Amino acid sequence: MAKTFMSATKSEGGEAAEFDYILSPSVAGFLYPLFVPALVFLAPFILVSIFPNLLTGMGLNVGKWTLLMWGVLLTAANIGIQEIRRRSKKLKLHIDYLVFSQGIFFTSMEKIFIQDIKTTELTKNIFERIFNLGTIKIATAGTDGYEVELKGYSNPDEIVKYIAVHRKEGE
């Protein structure tokens, strides 16, 4: 397995369940939701810096440093929100099952037995290939669609390989 996986022991409901790996999405998987809003929040400052009479020509009297302050403030708030979203998602891999949990105030947990998994689909766009990320979709028996969609995890090939190896061992 890759070095980014971590070993851990977790106790749930009085009985100890040992997970092989507990994973969180990579920071690189959240670069797009961080970069695009930052660009939008800072766009008024950038435009006023390039075209100084842009806002006064429209009848707005706002200083460019005020625009910068609000842009930086909104960017910092977005970074905090995205980091909370990233840390609220956990994928726990066990030999027999995987548990995907998400949320802070309202949490949801999905437990899928590895033997029930029929299909895993791994897709990567150019950005995800550069940062060794991917989107893993997991489907189980008796459903039409995918139950779990894992975005932004490092080394998705290793996660899919882990599932495949343990699915074959249990048969």
* CA 18 centroid distance within chain: 24
Residues 23-41: tens digit of each pLDDT:
989 988 888 888 889 999 9
Closest among 74, 92, 72, 130 to 12, alpha carbons compared: 92
d(CA 153, CA 123): 12
- Mind spelling out the 3-state secondary structure of 46-78? HHHHHCCCHHHHCCCCCCHHHHHHHHHHHHHHH
Residues 39-75: tens digit of each pLDDT:
999 999 998 889 888 887 888 888 889 999 999 999 9
What average pLDDT does the chain have? Answer: 84
Question: Is the CB of residue 156 less than 8 Å from the CB of residue 134?
Answer: yes
The helix (run of H) or strand (run of E) holding residue 107 is: none
- The pLDDT value recorded for residue 17 is 57
- The pLDDT value recorded for residue 14 is 38
- The pLDDT value recorded for residue 59 is 81
The pTM (predicted TM-score) of the whole model is 0.73
- The pLDDT value recorded for residue 147 is 87
- The pLDDT value recorded for residue 168 is 75
Per-residue pLDDT, averaged over 64-88, amounts to 92
- The pLDDT value recorded for residue 3 is 42
- The pLDDT value recorded for residue 13 is 46
